[in-house]
Amino acid sequence: MDDQTFRTAMGKFATGVTVVTTQHGEDIHGMTANAFMSVSLNPKLVLISIDENATMLDFINKSGKFAVSILNEDQKDMSAYFAGQNKELKEVNFKWFNDMPTIEGSLASLTCEVYDSVIAGDHTLYIGKVTDIHTTKGDPLAFYEGKYRQISDCAEVK
Ligand code: FAD
Ligand code: NAD
């Protein structure tokens, strides 16, 4: 099976878009990720999956913590920037929450401590124990078939 067949199939699974952030020493690092899921209610755990070539990997391994900001529909440029696709964005003003850098205006921010990690093929799965949560109202930025989508009418399927 070729890589494109796999990506095409995975692209059929509509997701939201997050920016994962962390801080090690004075250095803050952010990275766009859609491989994010809720894992457990008691304790409260979430999961992210980070490519072995991502700079973020070393950051999380050193800091032992990360934050996840769930983007709203107006934050496509933020997603493209933290995916390294748009170098033109000016300096990012992170919003400090529970002593962690997060993305201002996002629908939800969760701060996490690394609870467990598993190397899975060319990615590392990080399970984070959620230490604090901030939410706001708004509509999500969605990602489907490799493109950003708006679901602002959010029509309920009856
Ligand atoms: P870099 O590529 O070096 O950083 C990303 C960008 O953020 C660079 O432009 C950098 O300058 C900027 N940046 C970082 N920190 C700061 C800061 N403090 N101040 C200002 N600018 C900063 N990859 C995965 O591994 N897992 C996923 O789940 C995943 N999901 C994705 C979903 C989408 C919708 C997209 C578009 C990409 C996804 N990627 C995912 C790919 C991933 O976002 C890119 O490969 C990314 O470039 C990897 O980041 P990096 O840690 O290597 O850092
Ligand atoms: P795409 O069409 O490559 O992605 C469609 C879906 O395939 C994604 O939602 C994801 O589920 C899966 N996928 C893509 N690349 C993957 C990878 N390296 N490892 C595991 N799953 C992967 O979307 P695109 O707009 O071309 O993506 C832009 C860039 O971001 C590409 O370089 C892509 O590889 C990367 N990306 C990586 C991940 C990831 O590592 N989990 C997820 C999404 C996008």
Query: What's the confidence (pLDDT) of residue 146?
Result: 96
Confidence of residue 157 (pLDDT cuts 50, 70, 90): confident
- Residue 11, domain member (yes or no): no
Interface pTM, i.e. ipTM: 0.96
Supply the CATH number for residue 33's domain: 2.30.110.10
pLDDT for 9-34, tens place per residue?
Answer: 999 999 999 999 999 999 999 999 99
Find the 19 Cα to ligand 2 centroid distance in Å.
14
**What is the total count of domains within the chain?**
1
| HSE-up (13 A, CA, CB side) for residue 50 | 26
Domain residue limits at 33: 18-150
- pLDDT > 90? residue 153: no
- pLDDT > 80? residue 105: yes
* Percentage, residues of the chain above pLDDT 70: 99
- Residue 155, domain member (yes or no): no
Find the 83 Cα to ligand 1 centroid distance in Å.
4
| Burial annotation 34-55 (CB, 10 A radius, 16+ → b, else e) | bebeebeeeebbbbbbbeeebe
- Residue 156, domain member (yes or no): no
- Residue 13, domain member (yes or no): no
- Residue 107, domain member (yes or no): yes
